[in-house]
Amino acid sequence: MKQFRGVGAAILFGLAGSGLLAQESEADLLYKRMISAYNAGNLEAALKLASEAVVEGKADARLYLARGYIYQYEREYQKAIDDFTAVLALEPNSIAALQRRGEEYFKVARFKDSVADFERVVELEPDRRPHHWQLGISYYYTGQFKEGMELFESHQTVNSSDVENAVWHYLCVANHLGVDEAKKRLLPIPNDTRVPMMQIYALFGGKGSEDHVIEKAHEGRLVGGQRGRQIFYAHLYLGIYHEILKNEGKAYDYIKKAAQQYKENGYMGQVARVHRIHLDRQRDQQ
């Protein structure tokens, strides 16, 4: 699944070149300086300038959106939510704000709110639905397993070589119809080239082993964090695998390591962190 890497320079630069700055106000000038600071890698200055621009621009959705992107990149979850909410108060159908706020709601474990925003995104742009695996993941955490199952089945039509999609579909089917049915309905994945995805796939299909997943994850040279990512994914999905089998201790240990010891940037790294929160909530309710 594609990973969210935070706000990119292209996003902010694209806003700058969109024609929105035709009339140069003080807010416009601050906005331009903010983009320059961001592109120079000075996020502290970019955030300060963005905040000054928001004050100057007042009811300018563009400014809240830009600052929200920076807060999102900086993992200031609630502040990002507040800015995307400000955008939506001014422009209720802003797909960019709805998508980003849905992501941030997920990161603070407000799953129902995340689903609501993502559903609004695909309502506004129906063609996005098969691609919107994030909505499927949020469905899982709200217990909407049938909806999640259907979403991941539609994602298979646009991304047929993603073991993660097959696993999340399996999880939804297992919770909705049982583990035996999940094995029968395991989506066919011909080849996911990422290590150790095919070993994870074999495990969920009843043909692999936990040891094989771990061994494969530790293969390869330690270059550019590749092995770290492999080990992260192994622990995330082994944790989820044991959760389905009701092996609560092993599930928690694997998820905790994925969220802390082997933590990964991107959306799936956030999923590991949030899944630990999810398990903590379940423990508190027992």
- Please tell me the pTM assigned to this model: 0.87
Distance in Å from the first CA to the final CA of the chain: 33
Cβ-proximal residues to 9 (8 Å cutoff; 6+ apart), any chain: 38, 39
Q: What is the pLDDT of residue 19?
A: 43
CA dihedral defined by 32, 36, 37, 39, rounded to 10 degrees? 130
How open is the CA angle 107-195-185, to the nearest 5 degrees?
A: 75
pLDDT bracket for residue 34 (50, 70, 90): confident
Instruction: Please report, rounded to a whole number, the percentage of residues in the chain having pLDDT higher than 70.
Output: 90
Mean pLDDT across the stretch 59-64?
86
pLDDT tens, residue by residue, 210-256 = 999 999 999 876 666 788 999 999 999 999 999 999 999 999 999 99
How open is the CA angle 153-155-160, to the nearest 5 degrees?
A: 95
Q: What is the pLDDT of residue 23?
A: 54
pLDDT bracket for residue 14 (50, 70, 90): very low
Residue bearing the bigger pLDDT, 11 or 197? 197
pLDDT bracket for residue 49 (50, 70, 90): confident
Q: What is the pLDDT of residue 284?
A: 75
pLDDT tens, residue by residue, 139-157 = 999 999 999 999 999 999 9
Q: What is the pLDDT of residue 26?
A: 80
Q: What is the pLDDT of residue 15?
A: 47
Residue 254's nearest CA partner among 185, 174, 200 is: 200
Q: What is the pLDDT of residue 20?
A: 43
pLDDT at 63 over 60: yes
pLDDT tens, residue by residue, 93-150 = 999 999 999 999 999 999 999 999 999 999 999 999 999 999 999 999 999 999 999 9
Q: What is the pLDDT of residue 223?
A: 64
Q: What is the pLDDT of residue 81?
A: 98
Q: Is 253 exposed, middle or buried (0-12, 13-18, 19+ CB in 10 A)?
A: middle
Q: What is the pLDDT of residue 47?
A: 86
pLDDT bracket for residue 37 (50, 70, 90): confident
Contact 234, 264 (CB under 8 A): no
Across the chain, what does the average pLDDT equal? Answer: 89
pLDDT at 78 over 90: yes
Q: Which amino acid is at 253?
A: D
